[in-house]
Amino acid sequence: MTTQDVHEVAVEAASAALLQVPARRSADWAGFAPAPMWSGGTVTGQRLPSWEDSQTALIIGDQGVSLDTPNGTVTVLYNECAAMLSRPDGGRRLVGLDGMSVNLEPTLFYPDVRAWAYLDSRVPPQVVVPLPARAAQDVPRPEPQGTPVPGVTSPTAYPTGPASPARPPEKKPSVLEKITLVILAVVTAVLVCAGGLSTLGVASGDGGPTDAGVWFVVGAVWCLAAIVALPLIVLARRAFRRNGP
């Protein structure tokens, strides 16, 4: 291998290389031209409007597919398709020999099973790359941002998973419930303190014959505290559930 051989390989690589530069920078001073972002033409075929914006559509034709957007069009022809990534859920990605690629997601465009089947029949089988199935949360879902598509009323006609049940409106505790909670909390605290102090007082006594009656009173105080605490717990749990997630 000579220096001339290395030079020829380097020149050939530079003529076909893609150079990534920082934002708002260019490399035209080094002889690089900006890579095209859009294709030069659009195929003729069935137009599938986007769920998200009526100005965006997927076109599946006899010669290829095009993604038509307000900013430009990306087209991949079947005879210039380098690879088609294929998902079991219908997701497709066509990559052209010129580096252009078109993503086809049945959940993002007006669905047509026949159009998808026709697409699969037109792409050369040797360029199809099967991919594993995706989890339901990984399948793209439409996020309406532009003008609704005329005649299309529901972007969830073909959902990829079960819809979440509607959450009922929150009902905050009323003023009466708040006052009741405060009163029950104060009464419970007073009874617990009284029961605790009386228990300590009787336990530290001399164990005389009057202790049996006193113990009865102490037990009654604790029972009353439990009776008052029960509705307090019920009301508190109900309030936390209303304010919780």
Contact of 133 with 87, CB cutoff 8 Å: yes
pLDDT digits (tens, 9 = 90+) for 153-166: 433 333 333 334 44
Of these ranges, 129-133, 202-206, 236-240, the one predicted with the greatest mean pLDDT is: 129-133
DSSP string over the chain = --HHHHHHHHHHHHHH------TT---GGGT--PPPSS-S----EEEEEBSS-TT-EEEEESSEEEEE-SS-EEEEEGGGEEEEEE-TTS-EEEEETTS-EEEE-TTTB---HHHHHHHHHHS-GGGEEE-PPPPGGGS------SPPPTT---TTSS-SSPPPPPPPPP-PPPHHHHHHHHHHHHHHHHHHHHHHHHHHHHHTS---TTHHHHHHHHHHHHHHHHHHHHHHHHHHHHHHHHH--
pLDDT digits (tens, 9 = 90+) for 44-82: 999 999 988 888 999 999 999 999 999 999 999 999 999
| CA distances in angstroms from 92 to 89, 118, 129, listed in the order given | 9, 13, 10
pLDDT digits (tens, 9 = 90+) for 12-28: 877 777 777 787 788 78
pLDDT at position 53, please? 85
Query: Higher-confidence residue: 175 or 132?
Result: 132
pLDDT at position 59, please? 94
pLDDT digits (tens, 9 = 90+) for 162-186: 334 444 455 566 777 778 777 877 7
- Mean pLDDT value of segment 191-201: 74
Domain 45-138, classified CATH 1.20.1440, yes or no: no
CA-to-CA distance for 144 and 108, rounded, in angstroms? Answer: 10
Give the pTM.
Answer: 0.51
Domain boundaries, the chain: 45-138, 175-243
Query: Is 1's pLDDT higher than 50?
Result: yes
